[in-house]
Structure 1
Amino acid sequence: MQLPGTTLLVIDDDDQVRQSISIHLEQCGFEVLQASRAHEGLTLVAGQRPELVLCDLYMSDMSGFELLAQIADARPDTPVVVISDDGVMSDVVEALRLGASDYLIKPQADLELLEHAVRRSLDRARLRTENQRIRERLELANRELENHLRELRDDQTAGRQVQLNMLPASPWGSGQYLFEHRIIPSLYLSGDFVDYFRVSETQLAFYLADVSGHGASSAFVTVLLKFMTTRLLYEQRKLQEQGPIRFQPSDVLGHINRSLISCNLGKHVTMLGGVIDEAQQTLTYSIGGHLPLPVLCVDGKAEYLLGKGRPVGLFPEAEFENHQIPLPSRFSLTLCSDGVLDCVEGTTLKEKEDRLPGLIGQAGGDMQRFMHLLGLDQTKVMPDDISVLLLSRTSE
């Protein structure tokens, strides 16, 4: 069915042919303009802007090739059907080269063929126009997407810098203890976080956290973790102006659990936290739904510490248990996020967990060797965030 208001222009100095073509096309539902001269036709092309032009290839006032070229220059999107007395191949080739959409031979006895050629040329032209509109919309969408991606990259760069500034120095030594960490994000921002710091003259604290999900939303929670632990430490120091601080790792996990639930962020955290008492030579730790468990390595023998607990930020009634162990004079303690297990050989999670202590034992408390055994480096892209926290004491 022809769209209403479709205007055609017929340019031909043969009045009988022009009238015959025009009458038939009007009966087909087109609005038809007529021109008996090429110059008159060009004026109508410029003023009336017809959707298609039919022109004779041989006219008295201008060559059809020149007419075709001028129409192509003035209205390159307007299809032109050329009508000729003969079908000389060189003329057909030249007309198509100059932009003709079709080439017909007259006398035009089969007017249905003419109508078909017109409709086909119109359909192709409209398809080209629609494709052009689609390309323009896609180009606009791509430019907007590039702008959004640029803004996102800028935001991520700023967020990454915030995360890096929050992380502790690595390696960091305090007294007899050495702390070191590695974090390899699966995306630009990490949902894993580690921290260690001196609590009092005789206490060192540390934790490793793995926020659910990936990317910016999870990275935002790591900022909250840093804020919450710092705030809790500040409040405890105000209560006890000097001497050891009495809060336990379970208190920290409980505080974070309540805070995350009240924030209603839809995020939870698995955590491992501990406090070293240098006077008593003990480690008190608490587990918040985190696997793998910490691995203690003494004299080349590596074993998981015991303990369990619920994830942090999911259950309002969750309680977290403290575990205490004496610390040997020489040892290393390795905390890993579950992303590390992706780097361990094995077909099942249990096989991977069983092999992990052996790798830690081989590393012997050396972070670089442990990362090498896992096949990791800072540039490798992994499906999950990976973090490792290693603390050690090599002498009394």
Structure 2
Amino acid sequence: AEFKLCVDLAAEALRFVGRLNDPGMTMEALFLQGLTEFYRGNFAAAHDHCSLAVANFDDRNRTKFWATQTGEDSGATHRCYLALALWHLGYPDRALQLSRETIALARTIGHPFTMEYALHHAGWLRQHCQLGEDAQAAADEQIEIATEQGFVFWHATGILYRAGGLLLQGNLREGLPLLVGGLESYRATGAEIALPYYLSLLGDGYTRAGRFEDAHRALAEGLDLAGKNEDRFQEAELYRLLGELHLAETDDQAAEDCFRNSIETARRQQSRAWELRATMSLARLWQRQDCGNEARDALAAVYGTYTEGFTMPDLVDAKALLETLGNERMRDDFAAGVKYVLGCIPPPMDGPVSIDWRYVPSSNLGGDSIGYHWIDDDHLALHLIDVMGHGLDSALLSVTITNVLRSGSLMGTDMRQPDQVLAKLNDAFPGSRHGQKFFTAWYGVYKRSSGFLTWSGGGHHPSILLAPGARDPILLPSSGMIIGFMSEQEYPAKSCEVAAGARLLIFSDGVFEILRDGEPVWDLEACIEYLAKRSTRGGALMDELLAHVRTLHGSHELADDFSILEAYFCLDART
């Protein structure tokens, strides 16, 4: 495992075979180069050397002599490392397919050591892919051949892969002791090649068993060997596993440092596989620290580079984590949207006209907004906007319209004239410029000195006025088209006198368009009848209505925004 020396020897071998015309020797020299680059963590270079050998020199008739001399088929050995390089470079499906082809090739050749070699690397690849049962199956066959042929070194590696397969299947009780014994047998051969890899499996097993000191020793030895021998193909994963160990010890900062080292190493080595796994570890840490947006962005950037392998455990886990983080982001966005909409609604108001309201957003946030303000000392504006659709875009457009009304920034418009206001809104907010978002509106102005209410509506259902002593509610309907749909529309205004003690109720369609199991269970007529029969006013009435709607819907979560405003005109409202 002295890969610093191997670099020079491999280069010398390539120079030597360059003077010859022997494909068998050329394949052996390229194999030395590819294997050396792989162990040093140069996966792209390893891929290139092995690909070159297979493409240009893999002629079994011409390489047969050297296969006999070395005891292995170069075409098979090159393919073993080419498959591993493909996995690192982000092509797990191609890697597994090539591995299966290599095993099939080895079986046709019928050479025991070539078969042993193919199975060893098949177990290695499946261990990387986290396919525990497949890794164990390859190891079991490898052990069988090694036992028959007396391959002591390869028998030890077979034990290690069998143990690794058991650990991947969650069998810590059998897997960890088997791994310890296999590592002892491996060390007894005097080999150090790939020791950082096997120590990473041991460190991970110890961490899962809660043996943190043993885990630290195993991972520290692995990192030390990786640096000493340039045996760096497992270096990024060693850093990640050390980070997971720090997490288990509740040292978040040390864990994050290790995850970042792992990601940096993986990027330098062009191992998308290690980068994905380390980024998942970092994303989970950030998720726990309420940094979900950063976690999702980081993971999505790596996951998005993959074009295959989406059924592999790592990619399945990454997708699931992305979906979880996405849902959390949506919840955060939803909460922020609700907070923003609520912050734009004026607080309940007392005085000659007392106003209260209830706003309960739907599960996916609709486009309702409520507003009221004194235009001057004598004129009170009240409105409700309902933008089509759901989501932040609808909610933000609705709030924007409300802010325009509150600020009186419709140029050339008398905000005391509802017909002018809605006509101007129709011109200012065409749906074609706002993602085909049209909206309904009810806008009224109460003139305190006269006691008259003037209103206009665009595509909106009636608001209702409940006068004291009156048997039936007074409907205040809309006569204009939905706003933003067609230009140059008129929104005729109507007026009525408001009796002292009357109540005005302005509400959205989420108050009465109630479905249960997809079927309508309430409508506008039933809603008006319900409200007309209630003698309570203010918050009590609206709370009763909300409870009734939830009962009808059969769920606390509503399908559309529930928005209602109640204005109570006091006995001395005109004074």
Q: Same fold (TM over 0.5)?
A: yes
1:256/1:71 CA distance change after superposition, 3 Å: same
Choose 266-275 or 66-75, whichever is displaced more. 66-75
Query: Where in structure 2 are there 5+ consecutive unaligned residues?
Result: 1-57, 59-74, 81-102, 127-137, 166-177, 179-307
Task: State how far apart, in whole Å, the 1-side matches of 2:318 and 2:164 are.
Answer: 21
In the alignment, the residues of structure 2 paired with residue 235 and residue 43 of structure 1 have an alpha-carbon distance, to the nearest angstrom, of 79
Deviations 1:250-308 (A, max 9, x none): 122112111111734310111111000001110000011112x1111112532322442
Would the aligned equivalents of 2:120 and 2:157 in 1 still touch at CA under 8 Å?
no
CA contact 1:371–1:377 (8 Å) conserved in 2: no
1:282 corresponds to: 452
Which residues of structure 1 form unaligned runs of 5+? Answer: 10-24, 79-97, 99-129, 240-244
Residue 343 (structure 2) aligned to one of 165, 178, 203: 165
Alpha-carbon shift at residue 246 of structure 1 (Å): 6.3
Query: Against the structure 1 CA distance between its residues 252 and 361, is the aligned structure 2 distance closer, same or farther, given a 3 Å change threshold?
Result: same
Task: Indicate whether 1:368 and 2:540 are aligned.
Answer: yes
Q: Per-residue displacement from partner, 1:332-358 (whole Å, max 9, x unpaired)?
A: 01111111113599x998973222222
The residue aligned with 1:336 is 507
Which structure has the bigger radius of gyration? 1
What's 1:156 paired with?
334
**Alignment partners' CA distance in 1, 2:422 and 2:510:** 21
Alpha carbons 1:188, 1:215 under 8 Å: kept: yes
Structure 2: distance between partners of 1:303 and 1:162? 33
Among 364, 380, 400, the alignment partner of 1:224 is 400
The structure 2 residue matched to 1:138, chosen from 316, 332, 336, is 316
Equivalent residue pairs, number: 315
1:394 and 1:28, CA in 2 relative to 1: closer, same or farther beyond 3 A?
same
Counterpart CA distance in 2 for 1:47 and 1:286 is: 75
Partner of 1:34: 112
Please show how residues 1-396 of structure 1 align to structure 2 within 5 Å: 30-35=108-113, 45=120, 53=141, 55=144, 59=148, 61=150, 70-74=157-161, 134-170=312-348, 172-174=349-351, 176-187=352-363, 189-232=365-408, 247-261=416-430, 263-291=433-461, 293-299=462-468, 301=471, 302-343=473-514, 352-364=523-535, 365-376=537-548, 380-396=556-572
The residue type equivalent to 2:158 in the other structure is I
**Higher deviation after alignment, 191-200 or 43-52:** 43-52
Change (3 A) 1:294 1:47: closer
Deviation at 1:199, TM superposition (A): 0.5
What displacement does 1:372 show? 1.4
Contact 2:458 2:482 in 1 (8 A): yes
Shift of 1:212: 0.4
Report Cα offsets for 1:219-246 as digits up to 9, x if no partner.
111122123213435867xx9xxxxx66
Greater helix share, structure number: 2
Q: Deviations over 1:176-205 (max 9, x none)?
A: 111111111113533111000010011100
Distance 1:350 1:151 in 2: 33
Q: Deviations over 1:133-191 (max 9, x none)?
A: 52211212223333444444333333332212111102x123x1111111111135331
Counterpart residue type for residue 142 of structure 1:
A
- Assess if the C-alpha contact under 8 Å between 1:26 and 1:32 holds in 2: no
SS at match of 1:194: strand
With over 3 angstroms needed to count, the CA separation of the structure-2 counterparts of 1:62 and 1:269, relative to structure 1, is closer
Cα contact 1:343–1:375 (8 A) shared by 2: no
For the residue of structure 2 that corresponds to 1:272, the secondary structure is strand
The alignment-based identity, stated in percent, is: 21
**Code of the aligned partner of 1:304:** L
Would you say the 8 A contact 2:458–2:480 is kept in 1?
yes
- Inter-partner Cα distance in structure 1 for 2:347 and 2:125: 74
Separation (CA, whole Å) in 1 of partners of 2:317 and 2:403 = 43
2-structure distance, mates of 1:136, 1:43? 24
Cα pair distance change 1:259/1:26, threshold 3 Å = closer
CA contact (8 A) 2:381 2:416 kept: no
Residue type matched to 2:527 in 1?
L
CA contact (8 A) 1:196 1:204 kept: yes
How well do the aligned residues superpose, as a CA RMSD in angstroms?
A: 4.4
- Aligned mates of 1:320, 1:273 — CA distance in 2: 10
Cα pair 1:344 1:356 within 8 Å, conserved: no
- The equivalent of 1:18 in structure 2 is none
User: Does the C-alpha gap of structure 1 residues 195 and 155 become closer, same or farther in structure 2, counting only changes over 3 Å?
Assistant: same
Kept in 1: contact 2:480–2:492 (CA 8 A): yes
User: Offset of 1:49 from its aligned partner?
Assistant: 7.5
Label 1:287 to 1:251 Cα distance change in 2 as closer, same or farther (>3 A).
Answer: same
What residue in structure 2 maps to residue 108 of structure 1? Answer: none
Instruction: Report the alpha carbon displacement of residue 31 of structure 1 after superposing the two structures with TM.
Output: 4.0
- Alpha-carbon distance in structure 1 between the residues aligned to 2:520 and 2:329: 39
Higher mean C-alpha displacement, 370-379 vs 355-364: 370-379
Cα offset, 1:380, TM superposition: 2.3
Q: Specify whether residues 185 and 50 from structure 1 end up closer, same or farther in structure 2 by C-alpha distance, changes over 3 A only.
A: closer
How high is the TM-score relative to the length of structure 1? 0.66
8 A contact 1:207–1:272 mirrored in 2: yes
Higher strand share: 1
Please give the alpha-carbon distance, in whole angstroms, between the structure 1 residues aligned to 2:104 and 2:538.
Answer: 89
Taking a change above 3 Å as real, the CA distance of residues 271 and 32 of structure 1, as seen in their structure-2 partners, is same
Q: Which has the higher relative contact order, 1 or 2, with Cα contacts under 8 A spaced 6 or more apart?
A: 1
Aligned residue number for residue 81 of structure 1: none
